[in-house]
Each structure stands twice: as structure tokens, then as C-alpha cells.
Chains A and B, each alone.
Chain A
Amino acid sequence: MPDRVIGRIKRVNGPVVEAMGVSDAMMFELVRVGEENLVGEIVKLEGENAIIQVYEDTTGIAPEDPIYGSGEPLSVELAPGLIGNIYDGIQRPLEEIRAISGIYIKRGIRVDSVDKSKKWHFVPSVSEGQDIHEGMIIGTVRETERVEHRILVPYRINGKLKSIMPEGDYTVEETIAVVQTENGDRNISMLQKWPIRKPRPVSERLPLDIPLITGQRVIDTLFPVAKGGTVAIPGGFGTGKTMTQQALAKWCDADIIVYIGCGERGNEMTDVLTEFPELIDPRTGKTLMERTILIANTSNMPVSAREASIYTGVTLAEYYRDQGYHVAIMADSTSRWAEALRELSGRMEEMPAEEGFPAYLPTRIAEFYERAGYMKTISGKDGSVTIIGAVSPPGGDFSEPVTQHTKRFVRCFWALDRGLANARHYPAISWLDSYSEYLDDIAAWWERNVGPDWKKDRSEIMDLLQREVRLQQVVKLVGPDALPDSQRFILEVCTLFKNAFLQQNAFDKIDMYSTVEKQARMLHVILTYWRRGSEAIKHGATLIKLKKMKVYQDIVKMKFSIPNDDIEAFNKLEARLERSFDQLESIYER
């Protein structure tokens, strides 16, 4: 970093540092503060004073200490070697930091975000003399067994390809191509930088009509999200936000996962770090770590880096999207990010709006979620970024500002319910408060790929669940015995649906993940039981009889007993179900 002193410290208040005598600095410039070289960013310029947000603990920093400017905005490094890594909020690799400073994170450490000495096998895909434009793919590198890293022409480089290196092993900093542009020759390496607060450009936004398959039944079947969509998962503590996020990171069908642990527990990141390299992705047979980038800014790490971690994550995601991948971001939790904003805003003595949050909170939330989308990238490929943000409302109260503002900018809402979590009904996604605006957009996909019944079946079961709520209100007043069997059967079917379908055991080898085919068949089985059952009741069968049917236990256990690839078992189960009802009805028809 150049030793350009841009000012001196005037005042230190936690992570917010005021500088004086500043003449030559730009907004969002990356700076180093004090003799310890703490990383900071300029967030406000006013006359000769500047406000700097420092990304490390400022203990011991004193007035008069120098501030060094870097001349460039806070950026991330983009190159092969990102996948499988774990970074802090400003893209410093935590494994490297550990090698330097042991079990604790010491301050002022400078490490490269990507390994600059490692050689990658580059295969060019363009030839000399060809027209080159920004964002174009000029070659590939096998980054992990499952991810082919596509090397993109950096932004603002357009012209003719003067030379390109032949297939071979290069480090990320070596020049692999030279482009003749209007402003002279430009060297291209596999490494490029991008400022984290600026969205990467795309050609155009495409409609969102392909679901992101998560393998979680309550999500895929009831409240699906589209690739490129936005989701909020709000829930009080202990309702399973992190468990849901981790299940999605494990089983969703995105190509790349960016998992941002923002202001959460250290052990949760450790859990992911120890578990993911051992888990095998059912689709590719490779370990899950080979598609995952982790960003960990745990709750005890400096608060301002928490603010940056969200942007760091989304910029990495956009980079892979531009290569033509479908990327999913899990941000756990956006509330901690909003609280970091609040803390910094408070220290800068800005006028607060609701509950101490700054007035620009909704703008920031919107900016973040708008970076999601299904895009036609500049390289011509399709790619998407799906954002799934956890929200931790204080006291589990969804009327607080972060939840409310987030709701305005997301199109899918998975509300976690305290009552369900208390009953250990996981995932505790409430079927009454949640919604998805992608239903109609992706219905065609289900019809094409799974079968014609999804939308109809889904409406039918949702209708039953709604009727159940009304009936439960009656039950609460007069007891279940007051209801006729036909209505009590609705309660029974809903209980069955909750136990046998909605509840999903994240630790069971078979149940942890369900294919869409399995989901559709399971739903169909339950609805068959409902349809035939209510017919039977009309003909005089009793509720007890229906519950004592042997096949009932098979339906309850089908999620555990029938593996994803054994669709034949569902045919048998359905046949058995029909037969049982035939027998039952034959008694009553006589």
C-alpha cells in the first residue's frame, strides 16, 4: 500500500474515527489507520474532516495517529481460488490469518485474498485477432472438481485480442492476454478487483420462472422461490433460522453457494466448516465444500466489518453469476447487518428514525436485495443470484423495522413460528403467515418437469389448512367431540400432512432431502387419503376406522421409508391405499 498520508486522527469513538487535515481522499476509499495499519473506509467527507469506519478493533488508537490512503475503494479480489475458502467480512482468508496469528484474530494483518503463488491450469477459448469486449469469457480454469472457473475480461476493456497465452499453468497475476484498445494495450490476468458497494453490470434482467429446488418439502411444494428470487426468513431465537439456512446451503440446486455468517455464532461457522467437506451433493457426487464460499463475521468480530460482509458476499456471487452460474446467497442474519448500520450511524451522531435505525435503512435493504435476479450476463450466458436473508426480529415481533422493510423488497416470506419450534416441528415455517409470489411464475416449470397436478394439489392442501384453522377455533370453544366426523377428518388429515409431509428431519439420511418427484407423490398420497376418506365417511365409515387402517402408518412413515429414487414404492403405496379404501367401502355399501 502506498504510504500516502491523507490525514491525522482527531477523535476515536469505537469503530468510528474522525480524521482532520484531509485534503486528498475520496468517498469509500480504503484507508489504513494508525501505526497498526487497521483497515478502514471513508464514509463521510466534510471540509477538512473525514469520518472513517474502521473494520478492526480500535483499542489503543490515539489522536494525531496518521491515516494512509490507498487511492482505491474497498474492493474484493476476484480470481480462481475463491471456492472452498472462508473469509472475514472484508475478504481476508481466515485460514491464512490463523497461520499467522493463532487461535485469535490479531489486528492489522495483511493477507492476500487469493493465493498468488498457486498455478492454475488455464485453457484459452479465444484466438488472437478476435474482437474482445468487457465481461467476455476468454478461457477457463478448473477451480474445483465441480466448478469450472471462466475467466472474464475486466470491465471497460474493449478492443482486439493482440496475444493470448497457450494452454498452461499460470498464477493469477501473470498476464494471460493482451488486448489492443483505443487507449493502448491492456494486459489481462486471471485476477481482477471490484468495489463491493457497486453492483456488477449485466445485459438484461430475465423473468424468474425456474424454481430453486431446495429439497425441503414445505418450501418447494408450498412456498417456492425462483432462481434469482429474494426470500426473507424471519424468526425469533431458537426457531431454526440457521438450521433452515444450512439445510438450503446443503441441498438447494444452485451451482455456487455463498454463505454469509453475519454477526452470528462462531460455532455455527465451525459447524459448516467441519460438516460441508464431508457431505456429498446428491446431484454431482462431489463434496458440498466444492461449491461453497463462506464469509464469517461472527458476533464478536468488529461490528463495521459486519456491515461490509453482506456486500462482499453479494459481489462474489455476482462474479460467479457473470460466468454463467446460478448462485444462492444465504445471509444469516440481515438483522445483525442492520444493527451494525444502526451502531455506526449512532456513533456518527446521525438523526435516527424508527428504533434508532438510520432513515436510510430501507434504501440499503432495497439496494441489497435488488442485486438478486436472473440475468442475461454480458458474456451472453444466463446466470442468477438468489438471496435468502434471515431476519432476527427482537422478541420475535415481526412489526419491527427490519422485518417490515425487508418484507417490502422480497417476494417470498418464510415466517418461522415459535409455537412450531417449541413443539420441535422443523422446519418451523408457518403455513399461515408465509407466502411466495413466485407461484404463478414457476407453475409452468412444475407442469413440464414433474406433472400436471402440482398447482391443483397445492391449492387443495392449502385450502384444507385454512379450513383447519377455522375448525380449530371451534374446537377451542367446544372441544373436538362437538364436530361431526366429516369435519374432524379435516383435522386428522391436516395433522397427518404436518407430521408426514411438512416436518422434515434434517438429520435423517433419507428425509433430509426430497426430490420434487417424491414431494409430488407424497402430497398426492395424502390427498388420495383425504379424498377417499371423506367419501368413505359420507358412506358411513367412522373416523376411528379410517385412523386404524394399516396403510395409515405407512403414510406417516413414507418420508423415512421411501428413498428418493424409489418412485415405484409410491405406486405400490398408492395401490395399497386404494385397495384398503375399496375394502372399507365395500363393507358400508352392503
Chain B
Amino acid sequence: MKDREKLELLRAKEYIGLEKIEGPLIFVKNTHPVGYREIIECVDPSGDIRLGMVLETSTDMVVAQVFEGTSGLTLPGTKVRFQGEPLTIPVSKRMLGRVFNGLGNPIDGGPPEKGEMELNVNGMPINPTSRKYPRDFIQTGISAIDGMNTLIRGQKLPIFSGNGLPHNELAAQIARQAKIRGTETEFAVIFAAMGVKHDVARYFVKSFEETGVLENVALFLSLADDPSIERLVTPRTALTLAEYLAFFENMHVLVIMTDMTNYCESLREISTIRGEIPSRKGYPGYLYSDLAEIYERSGMVKDSEGSITLLPILTMPNDDISHPIPDLTGYITEGQIVFEREMYARDIYPPIAGLPSLSRLMKDGIGEGMTREDHPHLASQLFAAYSYVKDVRNLASVIGEEELTPLDHTYLEFGEAFERKFISQRIDEDRSIEQTLDLGWEVLRILPVEELHRITEEEVEKYYNG
């Protein structure tokens, strides 16, 4: 490490005047050797300090992004100080129940947080050998999730939504209802908002208030009218607190991040200004690695009892799941909950599409001793049958329903019941896993037993006939 004294000396150095300002980027010439990703303090002509980060450093020029935006900066009148260290935030348990901006500074009128320790917001990669494989079932009380796409403690499971779909309602419902059965553990919710509207933030605050969990919630808000560049730090500050709570304080942390699409757009903005070679749709080639840096901070580790469960929300541009943002997210996360506009239009809440939704960790967290022994086969059978329903519906739209075979009619009936009874539920309805599974059998009974290839004879005996 560099000498502390030397560091202090370099920190005090002030460079007056910028070479160039372009969007949120500033260019400074003739500096001392500045470290990559160092934090800068940028003093604007009115004397206010704005934070920024070094993006590129060389012997003759330093490029940095200013989180609070560059509006009002002048070339000769701006002073820059280099901090010699990457961005850190103070973290402590006392931060729960408070509201922060994207950089981790309180905006609830309260005093600044001193913190138990200072942590680098960029985090560090978790060693795969120190991870603990997540397998504890979280009951969300939502059949489409518990039954078909089970959420596991320590999982990263995004919601792929679209504009105007009820993703906020679902996220809030999960935050309200999520529990591990049979245990009372300390839990916390961390909410990171990136570029969302004020009323969305208010909706979440109100929802947390109503259930009386607000003192267990920390909010990091970088709203739609805040500088877009601040959004690049918001998920990192939020996850830094989450890591502290989970791995140092052994708490179970649920992190809700919305809207990742805005985050990616900010990243593209910076990349474009820097003249980087774009890959798909103008997004930088490192979008995958950058998202992975965020998403991979969730999980469980061997030396701690805590966990980070990550629930990022993203709106698919034009409802297109093959757009780079949902696409790359899906490659990193452990499954996805996909919303379907057509279901929502038919007044089905939550409008979770049956087939493209997936929970990768489900296989290890369900079944005997975890949920119920019939769960794996039941879910598999429901998927298979529902998939056939989709085929039949397509066929019906071409040849007309009357031309379908009697069996196909039965399937249509099953599909309708599955969506109306099993998937659909009230926004305040909290179903136990047994209720969910029994409901699954109830709709499955519409189908004749010969059609059930994925169910064992014992299960037919016990649940289908019983």
C-alpha cells in the first residue's frame, strides 16, 4: 500500500481547470499519477463538491465521470481533487429504516451515518469455493412462484416485465409475504431505485409502512430526475450494505432493484460518449461482465449464516425478451419470472407466463422434507400439460375450437382452470405451499390419468384420486 502521508498530500492537491467536458465526463490534463477507478472530488464554480470516478488514466490525461452530472461546470472554473482510493461507504445496521441517495448519503434529513466500517462499493468477487449452495425454500405465498418457479434463499431471480405491468405490485407482495417456514430469522429489505418515478418509490415506501416493516428497510433512491450517471453506483452502494448485513451481521437480506433497464441505459450513455466499440444495440461489449458484477454479489457463503436474495426488476423494451438487457440478465441470473401482457389484459394477476419463467435453483429446494414429496413431479406435469395447452390454443386459432378432439377440449378446459384458479390470486392473498400444491392437483384432475406421464402411480393414488 502507498504511504498514508503521501496519500494525504496527494489528496490535498487541487487541479484548477479542465481540458474538456463531454456529457458526464471530464478530462483533466497534467496530473500526478492517478489510479484507475479512484474517486474524485470536483468543486464546481459555486463551491459545491460533486463526486466522480476515474474511468481511464494515463500519463497525460485522466478521464472521469461525475456522478452528480456536469451541468454548471466550466472549463477554467472547476477544481479537481483525487482521493487516491475507490468509492467507499460507511455501513452499519443502523442504516435500516433510513433513506439514502444513490451514492449512499442520507436524504431523509437525518445525520450522516458513521458506520461500523467503510466498504468499497465495487465489492470483490466471491470465491466459488466459499459459496454455500442455496437450497432453503422461501414461501412467497404466490402460487405461480412457489409452485412453479420456486424462490430459494440466496437466489438471484429477476422479474422481466414491461411498461404498465404490475411488477412493482408483485415485488412488494413478495417483500411483504416472503418467509422461511418454521424459522424466525432476522431479515432486512434493501430497495434500490434507479431512474424510477417518484410515485413508484412512494408506492414501495407505503407498502413497507403498511406492513410495519419499514424499520427493516433501507432505501437507496436515484430517481428519474436525478442525474443518470448516479444510477451506475446505486446498485453497488445498495449491495455493499446488503453484503455487510448478510455476511457480517448474519442477516437474511432481500434486495429489490428497479429498474435495471435504466441502469443499462446509463451505462450505454457513458460508453457512447467515450467512443467505445458497441456490440448489440449500442450497448458496450462489457455489459455482461458489468451486470455479472452486480448480480453475482448475491448468494450465501460458508462462513456466515446470512444470505442475499436478489430480485431485480427490468422492463423489457418493447416486451422483447431477446433484447440485450433481459437476454444478458437471463444468462447470469438463476432463472427469471416473465410477465405476459396478454395475461394481464385478461385480468390475471400476477401475469406470470407459464413457460418462459424458470427457477434454476428450484430442483434442489423442493420435494420431501423441503416442500412436499409430490412437488417436483406435480410441477413438471403442470408445465408439460400447460405447454400442450399452448399448442392446442394455436391449433384452435387456425382450425377453430369445434374441430378439436375431445381430449384437446379437455386440455383447453385445464388451461383455463390453471390460469384462473392456480396462477391468478389476489394481491393480498398469501397461500401456503400446501394450498398451492393442492390447487395444482385440483386443476390437474381435469385431465384423464393416462395423460399424466410425469406422475408416479403412488402420487396418482394419493393426490390425484385422493
A residues touching B (Cβ–Cβ < 8 Å)?
10-14, 18, 20, 35, 57-65, 86, 94-95, 97-98, 101-106, 236-238, 261, 263, 265-267, 269-271, 273-274, 296, 298-303, 336, 339, 342-343, 346, 352, 355-356, 392, 394-397, 422-425, 475-481, 499, 507, 547, 556
Residue pair A63, B327 in contact (C-beta under 8 Å)? no
Interface string of B51-75 (1 = CB under 8 A from A): 0000011110000000000000000
Say yes or no: is B370 at the interface (Cβ < 8 Å to chain A).
no
B322 and A60 contacting across the interface, CB-CB below 8 Å: no
Contact A346 B277 (CB under 8 A): yes
Q: How large is the interface on B (under 10, 10 to 19, 20 to 34, 35 or more residues)?
A: 35 or more
Residue B200 CB within 8 A of the other chain: no
Residue contact B322 to A11, C-beta cutoff 8 Å: no
The listed residue (B35, B154, B285) touching A59 by CB distance below 8 A is B35
Q: Are A105 and B127 in contact (CB under 8 A)?
A: yes
* Contact (Cβ within 8 A) B358 A266: no
Neighbouring B residues of A479 by C-beta, 8 Å? 395, 399, 403-405
CB-based contact B277/A395 at 8 Å: no
Q: Confirm or deny: B122 has a beta carbon within 8 angstroms of a beta carbon on chain A.
A: yes
Q: Would you give the shortest CB distance from B159 to chain A, in whole angstroms? A: 15
Is the Cβ of A356 less than 8 Å from the Cβ of B131? no
Q: Across the two chains, which residue of chain B brings its CB closest to A237? A: B330
Q: What residues make up the interface of B, taking CB atoms closer than 8 Å to A?
A: 1-2, 33-38, 56-59, 85-86, 122-134, 154, 247, 276-280, 285-286, 288-289, 292-293, 296-297, 299, 301-304, 322-324, 327-328, 330-332, 334-336, 355-356, 358, 360-361, 363-364, 376, 380, 383-384, 387-388, 394-395, 398-399, 403-405, 450, 453
Residues of chain A within 8 A (CB-CB) of B388 are 423
Q: Which residues of A have CB within 8 Å of B330?
A: 236-238
**CA A503 to CA B99, docked complex, whole Å:** 51
Contact: A422 with B331, CB < 8 Å?
A: no
Top 5 nearest A-B pairs by Cβ distance?
A395-B322, A299-B292, A11-B58, A423-B387, A300-B296
**Contact present for A273 and B128 (CB under 8 Å):** yes
With A59-B35, A103-B303: A238-B336 Cβ-Cβ less than 8 Å: yes
Q: Are A423 and B355 in contact (CB under 8 A)?
A: yes
- Say whether, besides A356-B278, A422-B356, A267 and B134 are in contact (CB < 8 Å): yes
Which of chain A's residues have a CB closer than 8 A to the CB of B376? 507
By CB atoms of chain B within 10 A, which of A20, A57, A302, A423 has the most?
A423
Beyond the given pairs A102-B127, A273-B128, A339-B289, 14 more chain A to chain B contacts, judged by CB atoms under 8 angstroms and listed by A's residue number, are A59-B37, A60-B85, A62-B34, A63-B33, A63-B59, A104-B124, A298-B296, A303-B286, A346-B277, A356-B279, A397-B322, A478-B399, A499-B453, A556-B453
18 A–B contacts, CB within 8 A, in A order: A11-B56, A12-B56, A60-B36, A62-B34, A62-B35, A64-B33, A104-B123, A104-B126, A238-B330, A238-B358, A261-B128, A263-B289, A265-B332, A355-B280, A423-B383, A423-B387, A476-B395, A479-B403
- Which residues of chain B have C-beta atoms less than 8 A from A356's C-beta? 277-279, 285
Task: Considering the complex, give the chain A residue whose CB is closest to the CB of B154.
Answer: A267
Report the separation of the CA atoms of residues A499 and B301 in the bound assembly, to the nearest whole angstrom.
39
Complex: A20 Cα to B332 Cα, angstroms: 37
B2 / chain A contacts, CB cutoff of 8 Å: 35
A376 to chain B, nearest CB (A): 37
Q: Give Cα distance in the complex from A400 to B328, angstroms.
A: 15
Q: Are B296 and A265 interface neighbours, CB within 8 A? A: yes
Q: Which of A13, A269, A556 has the most CB of B within 10 A?
A: A13
Our pick among A65, A270, A299 for the contact of B33 (Cβ within 8 Å) is A65
Q: A12, B331: Cβ atoms under 8 Å?
A: no
What is the bound-complex CA distance between A480 and B361, given in angstroms?
38
A90 → chain B closest CB, angstroms: 14
In the complex, what residue of chain B is closest to A548 when comparing beta carbons?
Answer: B450
Question: B323: nearest residue on chain A (CB-CB)?
Answer: A395
- Taking CB atoms, residues of chain B closer than 8 Å to A481 are 403, 405
Q: Which residue of B58, B302, B453 is within 8 Å of A63 (Cβ)? A: B58
Q: Which of A269, A303, A476 sits near B128, CB closer than 8 Å? A: A269
In the complex formed, the residue of B with least CB distance to A303 is: B289
Our pick among B58, B86, B128, B280 for the contact of A86 (Cβ within 8 Å) is B128
Determine whether the beta carbon of A299 is less than 8 Å from that of B332. yes
Distance (whole angstroms) from the CB of B89 to the closest CB of chain A: 16
Complex: A267 Cα to B404 Cα, angstroms: 45
